[in-house]
Structure 1
């Protein structure tokens, strides 16, 4: 698919971010056609290049997080590096940065300076605590946002300390809000005279926005939601159960009709037809009894038999997938959720497919995460720099 066929084609994005939140936001933009120019320090670039599992000197995560992006190295402490940065911003649509508030201003690249240079610019600013407030200048990573935003407090079992999810979910949630806000700002620019604006995303607020009924329940009832393991009181039955062969199966049967089908599949017509269990409130009042019955039934059968019976009864259920399960799953494969790319040494490598799936203008992988400074000559040449000038800038330490 050509970039012109993608929904964000024609947008120029300058990324001044490292690691997760900012780069994940721009990854989405790049997957759907935006020209994303990732500005990296000449001294090693984004630390994500070396995070987690490294193959032939480069993180496999990097190849996903930076796909479709152009890597340009600029030394923003060098006057010529800053001059090149301003030239890039002059005709950009979006700047994405996830520095601590105040860093961009110290570089002379704050909102006032950049919007004066380019009034139509949209600036996405991702930080731990936002651009204002008493904590704005403090450092904050996803783990802190998850903790302050309420997610960690409710995650885990009541008799154990809070636990984290297995991924950097706070950063990723913030990135998604950032993309949403940026697209809103672009729409506003389109219909209101071409003026850009700042999109200010705080990691703790991004997580906090996902916390469902947490706030009104506390305000009205003084109720503090606590850790409840794999169940959620008030929504019954929805839980994880262990099969005879030691596998774990999630079953969601909290709909009235679905609950009846589950009980019949288990051979428990008595529970299916019990009028006191006809709605969620009644089931939740007897959740311990219901979970004990489901536990016993699941524990008496192997995983395959449990899943087959629930599929036949049209009850939502799934094994708890590892990545190995995903690689063998027909649904993942049928929808292209495991995409094959070539690593620099020619080795095939599977990476996640692109979400969301658009019917007419889907996203695609045009290239995997680039080498450090791979696009210096092409991007700077597009700004009018000659090869000789680029070589001189490199020799001067500006690149």
Structure 2
């Protein structure tokens, strides 16, 4: 037996869409929070990304919206806005990627929300922080990759042309940062009794990640050298070609290098070549040393290298593609991708919650919801009467498929 999940009792309104905000709130939902996803009539845009089995249940949506309930509200309608404010009175936090000025125009800005719930935490996910020339500009994953220099660094590291990393790495990284910020604000509120507004900008958050790795000599004033980490930017840093394929390995510590050089019969070179002396000299000569290893790797097959490097405790893995990643033996052994029965979508492959807890284990309590699946349930919890709910549905302010009002209650 375990305790309830760690965030049991925390209630969050998710007014975000696409990946960044929904991923943040899915993390919080996985940890036990009650997440109420507020959607427009057309739903989150990821509901429409193919392939899909059922209408409005695209595969991207399925991987960022479990452990949530869905309510449809037209926030441009005064009754829809009032319903949202009524919901806000009874929750701990709101997460949104609606731009701040747009929230103000809707009448759902910080001052309005705080007046209804002084303990509320509002987390605004924005492209760029307030006060700079980019403030208020729309942005997406690819733009943040570009403005934080990732495509340029890929060229520096060997790509022929600038290109984007083929995953929503910024959306997911900022989503994690947002979840951490929200939880810190909850702790602050428990100490002070006060809610607050938090702005989490994509650009500044990811610039921290990039510059933490690549500020290099420009850390110092005046600079001691150029920006960039030589070891990670060398063109030779890539999966090593073997006699029959490729593998991924990193030879990093003194012990790794000493052992590897013994394996290839070059112990004397390790002892006498000053480039191998320490991590500093190895970093200065990263291009040459990666090339040195690359040449040696071509002397054996991938299977041979995997066996010998694992035995020598040198970090090594196969080079996966997407299909082999899904079938990876470790992921299979830990049950990371179980096939589950979704209430409407049939059998779907699900990504397991990655962390394991000795007590209060987070669980997947709800599969990703249909559009408006919980509209009536959530509005009832907010204190709206059956008559009020029926009126909202009749006016098209909210929807719930299959709902029939209780005539006696109405």
| TM-score where L is the length of structure 2 | 0.88
Higher mean C-alpha deviation, range 281-290 or range 305-314: 281-290
Unpaired runs of 5+ in structure 1? none
The 1:393–1:289 alpha-carbon spacing in structure 2 relative to 1, beyond 3 Å, is: closer
Distance change (3 Å), C-alpha of 1:72 and 1:233: closer
Distance 1:355 1:130, change over 3 A: farther
Partner of 2:305: 306
Q: Report the 3-state secondary structure (helix = DSSP H, G, I; strand = E; otherwise coil) of the residue aligned with 1:140.
A: coil
In the alignment, the residues of structure 2 paired with residue 151 and residue 359 of structure 1 have an alpha-carbon distance, to the nearest angstrom, of: 38
Displacement, 1:286?
Answer: 4.0
Partner-residue secondary structure (3-state), 2:100 = coil
Q: 2:52 aligns with which of 35, 50, 54?
A: 54
The answer to whether the 8 A contact 2:214-2:229 is kept is no
Structure 1 residue aligned with 2:162:
162
| 2:261 corresponding residue in structure 1 | 263
| Deviation, structure 1 residue 135 | 1.9
How many residues were matched structurally?
392
Check conservation: 1:122, 1:199, Cα contact below 8 A.
Answer: yes
Helix, strand or coil at the partner of 1:36: strand
- Where 1:232 maps in the other structure, the secondary structure is helix
1:153/1:289 CA distance change after superposition, 3 Å: closer
- Secondary structure of the 2:379 match is helix
The residue that corresponds to 2:190 in the other structure is: 190
Match of 1:218 in 2: 218
Contact 2:215–2:228, Cα closer than 8 Å, also in 1: no
Per the TM alignment, residue 297 of structure 1 is displaced from its structure 2 partner at its CA by 2.4
Residues 76 and 82 in structure 1, CA contact (< 8 A), matched pair in contact too: yes
- Partner Cα distance (1:55, 1:223) in 2: 55
Post-superposition CA distance 1:16-51 (Å, at most 9, x none): 111011111101011111000000012x11011012
Q: Counterparts of 1:223 and 1:153 in 2: how far apart (Å)?
A: 19
Deviation at 1:159, TM superposition (A): 6.0
- For 2:120, the equivalent position in structure 1 comes to 121
- Report 1:98-247 matches (<5 A): 98-156=97-155, 157-158=157-158, 160-192=160-192, 194-211=193-210, 212-215=212-215, 217-220=217-220, 221=223, 223-225=225-227, 232=232, 239-246=238-245
2:248 maps to which residue?
250
Gaps in structure 2 of 5+ consecutive residues: 399-410
- Report the TM-score when normalising by structure 1: 0.91
1:242, distance to aligned residue in structure 2 (A): 1.2
The 8 Å contact of residues 145 and 205 in structure 1, kept in 2 or not, is answered as: no
- 1:5 maps to 4
Tell me the equivalent position of 1:279: 278
CA contact (8 A) 2:14 2:21 kept: yes
Work out the CA distance in 2 between the residues paired with 1:367 and 1:280: 48
Spell out structure 1 runs of 4+ moving beyond 6 A. none
Distance 1:304 1:163 in 2: 32
1:321 offset after TM fit, Å?
Answer: 1.9
Query: How far apart are the structure 1 equivalents of 2:214 and 2:353?
Result: 32
Aligned to 1:84: 83
Query: What is the Cα deviation at residue 348 of structure 1?
Result: 2.3
- The separation in 1 between residues aligned to 2:284 and 2:158, in whole angstroms, is 19
Matched residue, 1:73: 72
Equivalent residues in 2 for 1:241-390, closer than 5 Å: 241-246=240-245, 248-274=246-272, 276=274, 277-345=276-344, 347-390=346-389
How far the C-alpha of 1:376 sits from its partner, in A, is 0.9
Contact 1:339 1:350 in 2 (8 A): yes
Once structures 1 and 2 are overlaid, which stretch shifts more, 271-280 or 175-184? 271-280
Shift of 1:188: 0.8
> What SS class does the counterpart of residue 116 from structure 1 fall into?
helix
Query: What is the aligned partner in structure 2 of residue 94 from structure 1?
Result: 93
